[in-house]
Amino acid sequence: MTKPIIYVFTGASGAGRKTLARKASHLMGWARVPSCTTRLPRIPHQPDGDYRYLALEQFTDWENEGRFVQTALIDGNKYGILREDLEQALNGEKDVCVVLNREGAEALKRLYGDRAVRIFIYTDKRTVQERLESKGFGYEVIESYLNRYSDEVTYRKACEHVFENVDVDKTAAHIRETLSRR
Ligand SMILES: Nc1nc2c(ncn2[C@@H]2O[C@H](COP(=O)(O)OP(=O)(O)O)[C@@H](O)[C@H]2O)c(=O)[nH]1
Ligand SMILES: Nc1ncnc2c1ncn2[C@@H]1O[C@H](COP(=O)(O)OP(=O)(O)O)[C@@H](O)[C@H]1O
């Protein structure tokens, strides 16, 4: 039996990576492995399944115990995928899906080589801004996403696949068609 693949959704924040990771996982039967974060949920007290939300103390303890595959510090918040979460998913029969910035995508590629397939989700900067504004995201979140845009968008050349996210359902179907041919 072939070993499960790790599909790494990456690209600029706000491009639709989490949305497409959810949809594509549903279509393709992938196991999603959420990162842990010390960032607060965007909508308090409403579970969203995108992250495991941790207190800073808990995150730091686990970090000191070496339990994360890799970690990142972004806008004062910590992010990391627990080794045990990823390994447990990889020991199952399903392929696996994660959502990471370029630093995280690069780390997984280094660690897992051909088993890590990077899916770069592209949306132009103005559309990102318009979508976030229309969804009622706060000014600070939009500013922070747009500030990181240029840095993230240049990573597309390194990725195995690039999909422009115009219509979510069409993009998810395109991802399915492309990866089914692998
Ligand atoms: N390197 C790394 N990046 C991560 C990890 N988990 C999430 N990220 C990325 O870190 C960034 C977090 O920024 P944030 O503003 O919270 O983005 P959001 O979660 O998409 O709203 C996003 O680009 C995430 O995809 C992780 O474990 N490692
Ligand atoms: N194709 C699309 N058309 C309109 N809105 C979209 C589209 N894709 C994603 N969105 C919306 O844009 C916002 C950011 O998407 P999200 O998946 O959280 O992005 P990311 O994970 O890349 O930061 C969400 O409110 C999401 O519903």
DSSP bridge partners of 73: 78
pLDDT at 98 over 90: yes
What is the domain range of residue 62?
A: 6-180
Does any domain span residue 152?
Answer: yes
Q: What is the CATH number of the domain that holds 168?
A: 3.40.50.300
Asked, for residue 95, whether it belongs to a domain, the answer is yes
Residue 75 is assigned to a structural domain of this protein: yes
Q: What is the pLDDT of residues 16-32, one digit of tens each?
A: 999 999 999 999 999 99
Which is higher by pLDDT, 156 or 181? 156
Which of the four pLDDT bands, split at 50, 70 and 90, describes residue 2? confident
Q: Is 88 a member of any domain?
A: yes
In a domain, 1, yes or no: no
Residue 138 falls within a domain, yes or no? yes
> Which one-letter DSSP state was computed for residue 73?
E
Residues having CB closer than 6 A to ligand 1 are 13, 18, 35, 39, 70, 72, 74, 79-81, 99-101, 103-104, 144
Question: Does 50 fall in a domain?
Answer: yes
Q: Which atom of ligand 1 is nearest to the CA of 107?
A: 1
The residues near 24 (Cβ < 8 Å, ≥ 6 apart) are 7, 9, 30, 97, 119, 172, 175, 176
In a domain, 115, yes or no: yes
ipTM: 0.97
Using one digit for the tens of pLDDT, what is the confidence trace for 99-157?
Answer: 999 999 999 999 999 999 999 999 999 999 999 999 999 999 999 999 999 999 999 99
pLDDT value at residue 107: 97
Q: How far is CA 61 from the centre of its chain?
A: 23
| CA 171 to ligand 2: nearest atom | 1
Question: Domain tally for the chain?
Answer: 1
Phi, psi angles (nearest 5°) of residue 168: -60, -50
Task: Write the residue with the smallest CA distance to atom 12 of ligand 1.
Answer: 74
